[in-house]
Amino acid sequence: MKKKSEALALQRNKETNRVAFLFLIPVAVLLILYIFYPIIDAFRISTLKWNGISPNTTFIGLDNWIKLIHDPHFWSAFKNNIIVMILSICVQIPLGLAMATFVEYAGKKSKLFKIVWFIPMLMSSVAIGFLFQYALATNGGIISSVSSLFGGGNIDLLGNPDTALFTVIGVIAWQFTPFYMVYCVAAYTNISTDLYEAAQLDGVNKRTYFAHIALPLLAPSLKSAAILSMVGSLKYFDLIYVMTGGGPGTSTELMSTYMYKMSFAKFNMGYGSTIASGMFLVITIISLLTMRLLNGKGEEK
C-alpha cells in the first residue's frame, strides 16, 4: 500500500516536471530569441568592422575592445551615467519614501496627493522631454519668463554644459519619484497593523515608530528599489535623447546615447556593439557588487 502511494507520488512528480517543462518552453523561446541571442550576437558583432548595412564584414578581433578601453568619450559617458545613478538614488528614493510616508500617515485625506503625485508616471518620457524643453526654453519658456519678470534675464539651463546634465536629472527625478512613492506605499501595506497598534500601546510616538520600526521593516524594499534605480540609471536613454541629444557638445552623453549614435548615425555598428557589450559588462558587474554588498550587510545583522 505504502509502496503504491510512493510510486504514485513519483509518477506525479515526473508529470509535474514534464508539464512545467512544457509550460516553460514559450517563455524560454522568447528569452532566448530576444534576450540571450541578441546579447551573444552583440558580442560577436563587437569583433567585426562593420558599418551596419554592408553585407561585407571584417573580423578584427579585439581591436574594438582595445579602442573602447582607451575611448575618452565612452568613459566620460560612463561618468555621466554614474552621476545620474548617484543623484537618482539619492533624490528619488528618499523623496518617494517621504511622499509615501506622508500619504500613509495622512490616511484617506491624502487621496488627492496620491493621485496628483502619480500623474508624471503616467506620461510618456518623450512627452515629458518636450514639455520640459518648452518650459526651459530661453525664448519664452516659463523659467526664463519668470526670471525676466524679476529682472533676472534669461536662464539657460539646457544649453549650458555645466547645468544641462543636472537639469535633465531633475526632470528624470520628477518622472520617477512617483514610482518609488508607489513602491514604498506598497511596502508599507506589508507591515502588519498589529505592529503599529502594539507600538502605540507601548507609548511609541510616530517619529520613533518610523525610525525604529517601520524603516527597518522597509529596508529590504528600499534595497531592491535602489538596485532598480541603479540599473535604470546606468542604461538610461530617453529623456537625454529627447531633451539634449547628448549636447551641448557631448556634455550630457550617456553610454546608451553614445552607443545609439555610433551604431545608427555614424555607421559603425561594430563599435556600437562593443559599447553595448561594454555597457552590459559594466552594469552586470556593478549590480552584482552592489547586491553582494547590500546582502552582506543584511546577513551580519
Partner 1 sequence: MKKRLLRFAAIALSVMMIVSLAGCGSKGKSSSGGGDADKTITFWNIGAEGVNKVLLSYPVELFNEQSDSGYEVEFVATQNDSYKEKLVVAMSSGECPDMYTSWSGGPMNEYIESGFAQPLDDLYEKYGLTDRLMEAGIAQSTYDGKIYAVPTYNISVAGTYYNKEMFEKYGLEVPKTISELEAVCAKLKENGITPFALANSTKWTGSMYFQLLAARYGGLEPFQAAVDGSGSFEDESFVYAGEKIQEWVEKGWFPEGVNSLSEDDGQGRQLLYQDKAAMDLIGSWYTGTLKSDSEEFYEKVGWFPFPAVDGKEDNLPIALGTVGDQFISFNCEGDKLDAAFELATYFSSEEAKAKDIENGYLPPTPDVATLVDDPISQQVLSTIADATAVQLWYDQYLPPAVADAHLNTCQELFGLTTTPEKANEVLQAAMQEYLDEK
Q: If you search the block for the grid coordinates 526664463, which residue do you land on?
A: 144
Q: Is residue 49 at the binding interface for partner 1, with CB under 8 A as the rule?
A: yes
- Which of 26, 107, 151, 203 touches partner 1 by CB under 8 A? 26
Based on CB atoms, which residue is closest to partner 1, 137 or 173?
A: 137
Residues 115-154 within binding reach of partner 1 (CB under 8 A):
133-134, 136-140, 144, 153-154
Binds partner 1 by CB under 8 A, chosen from 29, 40, 62, 142: 29
According to CB under 8 A, which residues from 180 to 239 bind partner 1? none
C-alpha pair distances (Å), 257 with each of 9, 24, 74, 278: 55, 35, 10, 14
Q: Which residues pair with 48 in a beta bridge?
A: 59
Question: Would you count residue 37 as binding partner 1 (CB under 8 A)?
Answer: no
Total of chain residues touching partner 1, rule CB under 8 A = 45
CB of 265 to partner 1, least distance (A): 6
Look at the alpha carbons of 104, 107, 109, 114 in this order and tell me if their dihedral is positive or negative: positive
Q: Is the peptide bond before 216 cis (omega within 30 degrees of 0)?
A: no
CB 132 within 8 A of CB 44: no
- Name which of 39 and 195 has its Cβ closer to partner 1: 39
Q: Does 104 bind partner 1 (CB under 8 A)?
A: no
Site for partner 1 in 148-167 (CB under 8 A): 153-161
Contact residue for partner 1 among 22, 122, 149, 201 (CB under 8 A):
22
The Cα–Cα gap between 248 and 144 comes to: 19
Applying CB under 8 A, which of residues 92, 117, 129, 261 lies at the interface with partner 1?
261
Half-sphere exposure of 289 (CA within 13 A, CB side): 7
**Nearest approach, Cβ of 170 to partner 1 (angstroms)?**
15
| 159 vs 244: CA distance, rounded Å | 8
3-state helix, strand, coil in the chain (%, to 5): 80, 0, 20
User: How many CB atoms sit inside 10 A of residue 177's CB?
Assistant: 23
**Using CB under 8 A as the criterion, which residues of the chain lie in contact with partner 1 when the complex forms?**
19, 22-23, 25-26, 29, 33, 49, 51-56, 133-134, 136-140, 144, 153-161, 244-245, 247-251, 261, 264-269
